[in-house]
A = this chain, B = another copy of it.
Amino acid sequence: MALVTRSKSIAGQVEEILRERISRAVYTSGVRLPSESEFAGEFGVSRATIRTVLAKLSAEGLILRRQGDGTYVNDRIQEANAHLGGLWDFAHLIEGNGFEVSIQPILIEVVTATEDNARTLGIKVGDELLLMERLFFANGEPAILARNLIPVSLLAVSDQEIDGSLRIREIMKRYFHQEIAFVITEISPSFSGENSSILDVESRDCLLNLKMTFYSIDNQLLTIGDNYLNDDVLKPRLVQAWN
């Protein structure tokens, strides 16, 4: 097995291959995977490199590792639709459920910051904000209503139409030249209220509300998100490995 691509790290390439083998059930559940040494031999890399890959898959709950025994694929994970780290990537969440994703922008416009906005975003009242309202569909059904506010001052590309059907990570990268480094998410239940019609639910129904703040590696606040999930369509079911 030759690892030729230069664009990705060796570990990244091995990870990709193993992920594919697991998803294709090359390694079936209940059967032991090759040992670290065998993998190292197969790919022609050091055992340490193999270990970083297996550690990542293990942290996501994709494989189970037992000292003195071996490594096994975790078939229970099929009951989940994402690992914990994937909670804020809505497209990934929907795909993990086996649904087709589509993102439809409802409105993208420039607004001025209210006092509330200014406080949470650390800007001045009246500063310009980009308001982006979008709807995530799962197999054609509206599943998530997502609202984002981004300071216009961060906009790197002028006079350009923003493609609202992209994922937030890609939007921040392409139009703001910003990489998302970490996210703080506040989870709470909320009555659907004024969002009921757009998500096609009763106004007195309960929705899952995720309030997210995205930061750059420089600790700069990039955007805040206010998101409503219709759990009739999509229930987040997350795997988390204990160590």
Interface string of A192-228 (1 = CB under 8 A from B): 0000000000000011100000010111000000000
Tell me how many chains of this kind the complex includes: 2
Q: In whole angstroms, how far apart are the Cα atoms of A88 and B72 in the complex? A: 24
B207 near A238 with CB under 8 A, answer: no
Chain A residues numbered 14-69 whose CB sits less than 8 Å from any CB in chain B: 61, 64, 66
Q: Is A184 an interface residue (CB 8 A)?
A: yes
Tell me if A189 and B217 are in contact (CB < 8 A).
no
Total interface residues on A, CB under 8 Å, equals: 43
- Inside 8 A of A79's CB, which chain B residues have their CB? 184
List of B residues within 8 angstroms of A191 by Cβ: 206
**A240 near B: Cβ within 8 Å?**
yes
Given contacts A217-B66, A240-B85, contact A206 B186 (CB under 8 A): no
* Contact call B231/A181, Cβ cutoff below 8 A: no
Check A185–B76 contact: CB distance below 8 A.
no
A76 touches B219 (CB 8 A): yes
Q: How far is the CA of A9 from the CA of B125 in the complex (A)?
A: 51
Q: Please determine whether A238 and B76 come into contact, CB atoms closer than 8 angstroms.
A: no
Known contacts: A84-B84, A191-B206, A206-B206. The answer to whether A185 contacts B215 by CB under 8 A is no
